[in-house]
Chain A
């Protein structure tokens, strides 16, 4: 029951109680403390946490990685800063993201894949802690596959996003950082859900997540219509990311754009935002000349 590593399962809630003391009593050192466990990696699906009295408190204080300055004092700053957006329209769903990863003022990478292909019909986006997003969405992919094998049919987007939201909910207070959009096409049509690290789950027609989301919303709110054609929708997704990357320092590099149809998702393009800048500049000049 209590493994050699302090993994997150129901027993973690017993820490501090008399049941816990009794259970660990046999492994106690002479001073009454707990032996540090030997380095055993956790069971698949379980999470190793710091071997301290209150792991949640410890995680919150040392890994608080919400967007903004709360990790100012951390030695290791998490990779974050992003703009991701997704919107539903009559021709399906467009998912458009940037690919910059920043650690404080350092651009760690310009080629991050912020769209996670959970399965040929489900896409997830990444915003917040890159490791958290990537791990938990891959975990979600595993759960979706298990559902398919057990029930002989594909999981609905509602159920997939619910599974992820429940996982986030159970790790609430442990300092996870993830703001993702789960999107896909199932038997009820195109669906888009926003799922957050505190267990928020919202269904909607369009969302934008990340440090550059406010800029993207400006473009989306102005030009979004449900009856866009596919070309117009792709253009809108491209422009919204461009404007966010133009003004937000923590977004940039390459715009990856996907289109979700009833036959699954298709990657449309991967265009450098700088090239877009000159393309739009030409457009603006052409317009001001006429």
Chain B
């Protein structure tokens, strides 16, 4: 008997297959990397090649939820649109009731709760997206949260979602992430991680830096290009050095 039909049915060994298949949908999506620095959070997403006739401005993978929180997702774009809309409404509702901005943690909790709700009802399917939520906590520290289709949320120092190579990218981040990185270094790590999956440089990347107060800035393509060229140059030098030392 197939246990992967209905969402509300456990398999004999305790799996919820629909949730796991949703995570597979996330893996098929384009990669998103989040890196937390000393006083900034960097979100770097892969921008899959656009059709020639498509307007790139209408494909937004990094969005604002509220004045102080920014979200990047990986997975089914349509599901993301619905979830982002719900979260935006919840953020405004919080502002109306509590006369204060919702914390990033609250929003991450809300997204996770919503995603979980859809794994425990009949007739619906889980959201096929994982999200990275970036912003600043009430104490003014940068924070990065991740949610997944199962409905869990947790805080990360650096994380990657989506794409086939998420595991190796995470290893790269583990090796290279340091506590208290300056903005430049954090951006560089983000770009470096993304270069491992992205084909041809700055054209296919979107980098967003979130600074104190939640101000987000999408980096200009020229600036990203400069960093990419710099990284590539360093890699070349490293390679030539090892090859020259071999001789």
- Residue numbers of A with Cβ under 8 A of B are 150-151, 153, 155-156, 158-159, 162-163, 166
B243 at the interface (CB under 8 A from A): no
Please encode chain B, from 74 to 102, with 1 for each CB lying within 8 Å of some chain A CB and 0 for all others: 00000000000000000000001111100
CB pair A156–B99 under 8 Å, yes or no, is yes
Q: How far is the CB of A162 from chain B (nearest CB, A)?
A: 5
- Residue numbers of B with Cβ under 8 A of A are 96-100, 103, 106, 109, 138
CB pair A156–B100 under 8 Å, yes or no, is yes
CB-defined contacts of B99 to chain A, threshold 8 Å? 156, 158-159, 162
Q: How many A-B residue pairs have CB under 8 A?
A: 21
Looking across the interface, which residue of chain A has its beta carbon closest to that of B109?
Answer: A150
Q: How far is the CB of B191 from chain A (nearest CB, A)?
A: 35
CB-defined contacts of B96 to chain A, threshold 8 Å? 162
Partner of B106, one of A151, A156, A166: A151
Determine the distance from Cα of A155 to Cα of B97 in the docked complex, in whole angstroms.
11
Looking across the interface, which residue of chain A has its beta carbon closest to that of B98?
Answer: A159
CB pair B97–A156 under 8 Å, yes or no, is no
**B-side interface mostly:** helix
CB pair A159–B106 under 8 Å, yes or no, is no
Determine the distance from Cα of A150 to Cα of B108 in the docked complex, in whole angstroms.
13
Looking across the interface, which residue of chain A has its beta carbon closest to that of B102?
Answer: A151
CB pair B97–A162 under 8 Å, yes or no, is yes
CB-defined contacts of A155 to chain B, threshold 8 Å? 98
Q: How far is the CB of A269 from chain B (nearest CB, A)?
A: 33
CB pair A163–B97 under 8 Å, yes or no, is yes
CB-defined contacts of B138 to chain A, threshold 8 Å? 153
Partner of B100, one of A150, A158, A163, A166: A158
CB pair A166–B98 under 8 Å, yes or no, is no
CB-defined contacts of B106 to chain A, threshold 8 Å? 151
CB-defined contacts of B97 to chain A, threshold 8 Å? 159, 162-163, 166
Determine the distance from Cα of A147 to Cα of B138 in the docked complex, in whole angstroms.
16
A-B contact pairs, 21 of them (CB 8 A): A150-B109, A151-B103, A151-B106, A153-B138, A155-B98, A156-B98, A156-B99, A156-B100, A158-B98, A158-B99, A158-B100, A159-B97, A159-B98, A159-B99, A159-B100, A162-B96, A162-B97, A162-B98, A162-B99, A163-B97, A166-B97
Determine the distance from Cα of A150 to Cα of B106 in the docked complex, in whole angstroms.
9
Determine the distance from Cα of A163 to Cα of B96 in the docked complex, in whole angstroms.
10
Looking across the interface, which residue of chain A has its beta carbon closest to that of B105?
Answer: A151
CB-defined contacts of A158 to chain B, threshold 8 Å? 98-100
Looking across the interface, which residue of chain A has its beta carbon closest to that of B94?
Answer: A159
Looking across the interface, which residue of chain B has its beta carbon closest to that of A161?
Answer: B99
Q: How far is the CB of B136 from chain A (nearest CB, A)?
A: 16
Determine the distance from Cα of A155 to Cα of B94 in the docked complex, in whole angstroms.
13
CB-defined contacts of A150 to chain B, threshold 8 Å? 109
Counting from the closest, the 3 A-B pairs by CB-CB distance are A159-B98, A158-B99, A162-B97
Residue of B96, B98, B103, B138 ringed by the most chain A CB atoms within 10 A:
B98
Determine the distance from Cα of A153 to Cα of B109 in the docked complex, in whole angstroms.
15
Q: How far is the CB of A84 from chain B (nearest CB, A)?
A: 24
Q: How far is the CB of B54 from chain A (nearest CB, A)?
A: 42
Q: How far is the CB of A199 from chain B (nearest CB, A)?
A: 13
Determine the distance from Cα of A162 to Cα of B98 in the docked complex, in whole angstroms.
7
Q: How far is the CB of B96 from chain A (nearest CB, A)?
A: 8
Looking across the interface, which residue of chain B has its beta carbon closest to that of A160?
Answer: B98
Looking across the interface, which residue of chain A has its beta carbon closest to that of B99?
Answer: A158
Determine the distance from Cα of A158 to Cα of B95 in the docked complex, in whole angstroms.
11
Q: How far is the CB of B97 from chain A (nearest CB, A)?
A: 5
Determine the distance from Cα of A235 to Cα of B99 in the docked complex, in whole angstroms.
34
Looking across the interface, which residue of chain B has its beta carbon closest to that of A155?
Answer: B98
Determine the distance from Cα of A155 to Cα of B99 in the docked complex, in whole angstroms.
11
